[in-house]
A and B are shown apart, each in its own frame.
Chain A
Amino acid sequence: VVSARTYSDFTTQATFEVKKCDVFKLDEAPATQVVMTRDEGLQYYRTMQTMRRMELKADQLYKQKIIRGFCHLYDGQEACAVGIEASINLKDHLITAYRAHGYTLTRGGTVKEIMAELTGRRGGIAKGKGGSMHMYCKHFYGGNGIVGAQVPLGAGVALACKYKDTDELCVCLYGDGAANQGQIFETYNMAALWKLPVIFICENNRYGMGTSVERAAASTDYFKRGEFIPGLRVDGMDILCVREATRFAADHCRSGKGPILMELQTYRYHGHSMSDPGVSYRTREEIQEVRSKSDPISLLKDRLLSNNMASVEELKEIDVEVRKEIEDAAQFATTDPEPPLEELCNHIFSNNPPVEVRGTNPWAKLKSLS
């Protein structure tokens, strides 16, 4: 196709069919006919592409030893983060585990801040003190390293929302490995008992580090594990399915019906972390198959193109812009200075005046400001 099209030639919105969600203890299910506008589609595409390129850049920087420590990449799961954010607003709260770069972006972090945090520089979103697993921003509570520990926290945030009588809810994410932790079940009980406005989301990417779900769980129906909490099983590779299901869940919570549990069936292309090649517990063919048949960005792109909602050139333009943004961010992350040594002891406590921190020997003391 050679002819140049003006933007007024594009379809402004279209209806799409999405997979029906399995339900548990629910009379209704999320809609299967969903509407997406052109603007929404382009925005989702841009965000998902930014996320994908950011993670791949992080992979590159890690291999160059510019990022060190632990790095858990999110590529493959972009539809989850972007789809969830599409149905909530920035006043709602979200908490997740350590695979958090994607959520930091959707919750308001910039790529520059995220990359600088990965490299541990002072321009990082947590001042360079947290690293990959500990990124935070307004109404986004991280970024948590200990598996499962963020779930009771999420319920607590939801309690605060209910107590303060705002219309906010809390989205509380965890993985298929964490679903077997005891504190998750304690949280289900509290949330259901007190009807807290919390959406529990289990991002099931089929592998808890290197253990497949069949080898870890007596029941792999993670959306039913809430027992007395209604559940949905959602196709996590289709952004519209995720968006619709989250909308359904958010309505459920905001109407005062209490918690709801969503299982997003998704997939990660990289291994568990950068130290994991990701092929010792699954085959390359499997990864390839998911990449070719269910890649979230490709699915969205096909939908936009085949419904005349965008042109190939337009999407390419977005790709170029995204690439530039990532390059600039990587440049910043590599050249920004590291936090000053005084930062080592700051913010341990909240204190005024500064306290002294005892150190490696009796004569070395540092000041802790807060």
Chain B
Amino acid sequence: MAAAARLFIRGAHSTLAISGVGTGKQSSLFKLSAGCSSRLKAQRHVAHFTFQPDPPTTEYGATQKMNLFQSITSALDNTLASDPTAVIFGEDVAFGGVFRCTVGLRDKYGKDRVFNTPLCEQGIVGFGIGAATAGATAIAEIQFADYIFPAFDQIVNEAAKYRYRSGNLFDCGNLTIRAPWGCVGHGSLYHSQSPEAYFVHCPGIKVVIPRSPLQAKGLLLSCIADNNPCLFFEPKILYRAAVEQVPVDSYTIPLSQAEVLQEGSDLTLVAWGTQVRDVASDTSRSVSPEHFRSMLNFSLVHVFQSVARTGRLLISHEAPVTGGFAAEISSTVQEECFLNLEAPIARVCGYDTPFPHIFEPFYIPDKWKCFDAIKRMINY
């Protein structure tokens, strides 16, 4: 039940002392990077955070330095090697994919196992459901999560309900759909969306979002092995930015569990995907960043326990705040922990606008907005 607590050590670019916040011991552990005002004035050229890799682990065997897209390739490589029914398909996957997640797989495993589809998302997912129902391990790729909407009907009305409506006679549990997800700095309206909330609302599918290469490979392998249709959203800004030591062999990380990144006593922070970096990077108090690996069937028990201890909860995601998944967590937590709460639950999320073109730096819930929310909650 107790998840592994991993100390989150933040590399400092320079120390910025914030008066009146945190004890000396805390501020030595968590350092904020300087240059806030100059960042806002200058043109944005880099990501709004720096990725901090987890310390290497030998828990799963020998490791190799990989970034996020390489860890995905590794997971797919392991799958194609061990499962003869596995097939990968989608737009442009044959040459390696627009984000290089499938590089080398066609040469290694053959063109009948790694193949391109024409430009037809509804067709891709429908086809994937059929292949999965017939027994193949179908791994479909949607080129950007923003393009998943033509396939929305297939996912929600067909894939999610197959087992239920046939009384467990048929299912498409062998289906996994992968899609790049989230803001990337220059994506604007149609290359930056985070549509997890739409799918979490639908019983019958699992939605999984990793935060790092190590997590990504394990979670993707779990999704593929899982007997339910899964949506695997990969934070595209981390494809190259996140580099870690990742095990070479197959391993799985259990879905449906929250991962506790750091134990603390003043505040609970909950996030997923890219936001984990922003949220956990700006901790000047003793905080308990929790990371949701998978969204549905999640175990909120960890969150309840944490909130019971700290009394304050902050949830952060890039998607617009209204109807985002933070609303669901917030509502459930206040049901269970009403009397433990010291301050209203804060949701630091995107604005209720389409993902903007030039206004992206103002739209995203970065660490400064999280910090602001934390300050207000502490001083409530």
Contact = CB atoms under 8 A, between A and B. Distances in A.
A271 interface: no
B316 to A, nearest CB: 9
Interface stretch (A37-45, A226-234, A305-313, A352-360): A352-360
Contacts of A348: 352-354
B92 interface: yes
Contacts of B120: 180-182
B365 interface: yes
A344 interface: yes
B17 to A, nearest CB: 24
Interface of A: 65, 68-70, 120, 128-131, 133-134, 145-148, 177-178, 180-183, 208-211, 215-217, 280, 338-339, 341, 343-345, 348, 357-364, 366
A119 to B, nearest CB: 9
Nearest to A144: B190
Contact of B352 (A68, A69, A357, A362): A357
A22 to B, nearest CB: 23
Interface string B355-379: 0111100111100011011001000
B187 to A, nearest CB: 7
Contacts of B364: 360
B116 A366 contact: no
Given A148-B119, A210-B92, A131 B150 contact: no
A361 B92 contact: no
A215 B369 CA distance: 48
B188 interface: yes
Q: Chain A CB within 10 Å — which of B188, B321, B363 has the most?
A: B188
Nearest to B348: A361
Contacts of B217: none
Interface string B142-154: 0000110110000
B45 interface: yes
B346 A180 contact: no
Contacts of B348: 360-361
Contacts of A134: 189, 357
Contacts of B150: 146, 181-183
B357 A129 contact: yes
Given A68-B186, A209-B92, A215-B116, A361 B373 contact: yes
B48 to A, nearest CB: 13
A131 B147 CA distance: 18
Given A120-B358, A341-B359, A70 B352 contact: no
Interface in B52-92: 91-92
Contact of A360 (B91, B95, B123, B365): B365
A363 B376 contact: yes
B191 interface: yes
Contacts, number: 123
Contact of B359 (A133, A280, A343, A361): A343
Contacts of A280: 95
Given A129-B357, A181-B119, A360-B348, A344 B362 contact: yes
B321 A359 contact: yes
B350 interface: yes
B211 interface: no
Contact of B188 (A70, A208, A338, A344): A70
Contacts of A209: 91-92
Contacts of A343: 359
Q: Chain B CB within 10 Å — which of A69, A120, A180, A208 has the most?
A: A69
B347 interface: yes
Nearest to A215: B116
A128 B360 CA distance: 13
Contact of B358 (A147, A217, A339): A339
Contacts of B322: 358
B351 A345 contact: yes
B351 A344 contact: yes
26 contacts: A70-B188, A120-B358, A131-B357, A145-B146, A145-B190, A146-B146, A148-B119, A177-B119, A180-B118, A181-B120, A181-B150, A209-B91, A211-B91, A211-B118, A216-B116, A280-B95, A341-B362, A348-B352, A357-B353, A359-B321, A360-B348, A361-B346, A361-B347, A361-B372, A361-B376, A362-B344
A146 B119 CA distance: 11
Interface string B108-142: 00000000101110110000000000000000000
B161 to A, nearest CB: 21
Contacts of B351: 344-345, 357-360, 366
Nearest to A362: B346
Given A183-B150, A339-B358, A364 B353 contact: no
Q: Chain A CB within 10 Å — which of B118, B150, B344, B357 has the most?
A: B357
A195 B339 CA distance: 65
B224 to A, nearest CB: 26
A133 B92 CA distance: 22
Contacts of B321: 358-360
Contacts of B45: 65
B333 interface: no
Nearest to A175: B119
Contacts of B177: none
A338 B362 contact: no
A217 B353 contact: no
